[in-house]
Structure 1
Amino acid sequence: MEIAANDQAQVKIPVFRNRNFLLLFIGALFSSPGYFVYLIGAEWLMLSLSDNRFYFGMLFFAASIPRLLLLTVGGIVADRFNKRTILFLSDLTRACLILMLLFFLVNDLVTVWHLIILAALFGISDAFSYPVINSLTPIILEEDQLQRGNSLIQMTGQISPILGPALGGTLIAVLGFEGVFIAAFIMLLLASITVLFIRIKKEETGNTKQSAWLDLKEGYHYARKNELVISIVSMAFFLNFFFSGPLAIGLPILVKDIFHGDAVSLATVQTAMGIGALLGAIVLASITLKKPGIAMVGGLIGLGLLYTSVGFTGHLYLTAGLVALMAFTMQLVNIPLITMLQKTTEKKMLGRMMSFLMTVSTGLVPVSFVATSLLIAAGVEMQTIIIVSGIIITLIALYNLKNKNILTFK
């Protein structure tokens, strides 16, 4: 349903004929790939500026810490102010940051610390934009359109890690660093302009009458009283802790040490993951899950079993196939999870609930990285870490087979 300035009842229209959603989708098509184009440029520029790989790691650390610390604040802001404006300012800010980097680059002034500070500022921007995207969708779509809408937005996120690095790498080879950052700037600028035309009812943009601290307490108490919210957020916490770190760190190690592969081998596995995730998003955009809770738990069981299998395989292409299937089943978990949370949350609380979810999912990924790194440093084999993590994920899924709040959700 298109959100207009009047209160007249409107006939439900298809997702892609919904002006507001179409603008949000087009904005995401520019914003997400634009970020990955910038990221590949920043990574290669950092590697070119210094042989010290500590600085390269700091790029990711600098972005993740502000994101972790400020996601909850971003959720409060999303519930108090116009979500469209927040998304517009987030994309515009990132475009301006890239423009600043271009100035330093053209004048031969750029250093590793410029890139690290820029990464931290990007992390701050992410903390405010992440809760908005998932809390804006339920406002501009009907409830029974949320699964398809979420799938389409997720699709842009799955295309980006494939399209962004490919486009960015080509631009670096042809036009140099200036070319790749100009392209990223243009894409993020177009994203900001696109979302500026989204229209939301004034009464659905939140209020600023009470303090931010009271907003935070209100969100915390709301989450505690909602058993489904607790179940979903807890599942997201354990899933990301046992999945993100071991997978991100483990795949390159498996490719190099077990399969004795090269960069092309790693790209093969990572591309398979992107394709699997993209296909999963496409399938879920095409169908309607009558029992999303059952689909989510079933997908989580499949994910755990496939993840465990990766630890036992010793063949590159078999691993690539398993990873593709994992990414596909991951969408069976992620998209219903987000949709269920959106459907059961009051619109005035969406920003805070989404920020809680994003905090435990993306915000705690660095903790998973550290834990995995410490286990490796202690002499634990990567295959063992993956196998144990896969078993734990499977057990978590089996435990949720008795969770009626999830299984009976329609």
Structure 2
Amino acid sequence: MQQSKDSILRQSSFTNYWISQILSSTSFQMLSVAIGWQMYSLTHNAFSLGFVGLAQFIPMVGLTLIVGHVADRFDRRKIVFLCRFIEGGIAGLLLFENLVGTPNREQILLAAAVIGACRAFEGPSSSALLPQLIPTENLQQAIAWSTSGGQLAQILGPSLGGLLYSLGPSYVYGASTAALFVAGILTCFIHVERSARELKRVSIRSLFSGLAFIYHRPVILGTISLDLFAVLLGGATALLPIFAQNILHTGAWGLGLLRTAPAIGALVMSLIFAYFPLKKAYGPTLFGALAVFGLATMLFAISTNMIVSLVALFLVGASDVISVVIRSSLVQLQTPDEMRGRVNAVNSLFIGTSNQLGEFESGMVAGFIGAVPAAFFGGLGTIVVAGLWMYLFPSLRRMRSLSEG
């Protein structure tokens, strides 16, 4: 009977965690659409959009070492709760400003910076919280479900944000405020067995301990750095507007389909992982997925047919999720609970850096040699990196179990 109660409690906690994650991520996507659109409407300046992205990116990089340490010193639920309520408060302030007038450029940038700082704290704390909710043997499935929620948010968030913004910016900010507050409340109903930890003295060594931990574990270092460089080179999605207009000769609706295809592929694959978790051959599967990622990117680059391009992008998203689930499961299982906040903070930095710099790299290369060669050689580069990492990290290539060091 006690085991049954524990099982129900864990299932309820994970359900609250999953729903709150979807609400939080969807709200962030909606706010990104609204803030970006409103900033451009006010300034009609592309540089202003760049500053919005910079305002969100700088806190993620600058606070990496601090947020990881905070996640390992304090109750992770309270950190996530506080972040979501602050984000909801910022959305509420933007709602108020739009009801009484229009927020200015500085107010929007400040809001973006505060939201970016909150997301910097929320991400590692939320990731480190997940292993405390479910048994170790179910962790891979839980990560797959969590990934599916994130992909669902990426599909729903931008479209819902755009739809609500067409009615008026207040609708986006109002919906985001409500969703973030609900997400925060749901976080309070998450039960963990170890929510408090001993407060140890903060030192330079402890701040950098997450980096040191990863550096001394070749399997973790290999998989995180592999994802960084593979995504960095294979960032063809940043070039989608060029492909839509100049190569596939489609309109805004076609661009929307192209942007949605990778997220749908990722959602489908994450659901497959949730029901049919990988049991063996993690290393070969990881490198095989990256090969598919690279080949699909190359196929997209040379395609002039809309259907072929959508299929290629679907495969890009699906293969990328395989890497995400394996990497996340590996990091969580091989990291002690007292270190998970710091290690997940470094992991989040790698992910964010690869996405941001990958888009920058793709844009710069496309500016010099054209979009098609840039995307094609980017996919080819991903395959080359995968081959190089197979040589540099033989333990990762031979990995058959997520518990291998």
TM over 0.5: yes
In the alignment, residue 217 of structure 1 is paired with which amino acid? F
- Structure 1 368/408 Cα, relative in aligned 2: closer, same or farther at 3 Å? closer
Q: CA deviation at 1:247?
A: 2.0
Give matches, 1:80-99, under 5 Å.
Answer: 80-99=73-92
In structure 1, the residue matched to 2:187 is: 195
In 1, Cα distance between equivalents of 2:321 and 2:300: 18
Q: For residues 73-132 of structure 1, give each alpha carbon's deviation from its aligned partner in whole angstroms, at most 9, with x where no partner exists.
A: 211111111110111011111000111112221221411222122111111111111111
Structure 2 gap ranges (5+): none
Q: Is the 8 A contact 1:67 1:363 kept in 2?
A: no
For the residue of structure 1 that corresponds to 2:98, the secondary structure is helix
In 2, Cα distance between equivalents of 1:304 and 1:128: 32
Are residue 394 (structure 1) and residue 386 (structure 2) matched? no
Are residue 268 (structure 1) and residue 242 (structure 2) matched? no
In structure 1, the residue matched to 2:143 is: 150
In structure 2, the residue matched to 1:342 is: 332
In 2, Cα distance between equivalents of 1:334 and 1:12: 32
Corresponding residue to 1:105 among 85, 98, 101 = 98
Corresponding residue to 2:246 among 257, 280, 286 = 257
Structure 1 gap ranges (5+): 1-8
Q: Is the 8 A contact 1:36 1:165 kept in 2?
A: yes
In the alignment, residue 44 of structure 2 is paired with which amino acid? D
In 2, Cα distance between equivalents of 1:145 and 1:16: 15
Q: CA deviation at 1:213?
A: 2.3
In structure 1, the residue matched to 2:159 is: 166
Give % identity. 24
Q: Is the 8 A contact 1:151 1:281 kept in 2?
A: yes
Q: For residues 345-365 of structure 1, give each alpha carbon's deviation from its aligned partner in whole angstroms, at most 9, with x where no partner exists.
A: 111111111111111111343
Q: Is the 8 A contact 2:223 2:396 kept in 1?
A: no
Task: State how many pairs are aligned.
Answer: 397
Are residue 330 (structure 1) and residue 323 (structure 2) matched? no
Q: For residues 180-208 of structure 1, give each alpha carbon's deviation from its aligned partner in whole angstroms, at most 9, with x where no partner exists.
A: 21001000000001001223334x54332
Q: Is the 8 A contact 2:301 2:375 kept in 1?
A: yes
Q: Is the 8 A contact 1:79 1:205 kept in 2?
A: no
Q: TM-score, normalised by structure 1?
A: 0.91
Give matches, 1:294-313, under 5 Å.
Answer: 294-313=284-303
Give matches, 1:106-255, under 5 Å.
Answer: 106-174=99-167, 176-202=168-194, 205-243=196-234, 246-255=235-244
In the alignment, residue 332 of structure 1 is paired with which amino acid? I
In 2, Cα distance between equivalents of 1:200 and 1:406: 35
Q: For residues 235-264 of structure 1, give each alpha carbon's deviation from its aligned partner in whole angstroms, at most 9, with x where no partner exists.
A: 122123213xx3232111111122222111
In 2, Cα distance between equivalents of 1:288 and 1:12: 25
Corresponding residue to 1:351 among 333, 341, 349 = 341
- Aligned-pair RMSD on alpha carbons? 2.1
Q: TM-score, normalised by structure 2?
A: 0.92
Q: Is the 8 A contact 1:75 1:353 kept in 2?
A: yes
Q: CA deviation at 1:373?
A: 3.2
In 2, Cα distance between equivalents of 1:15 and 1:116: 43
In the alignment, residue 366 of structure 1 is paired with which amino acid? Q
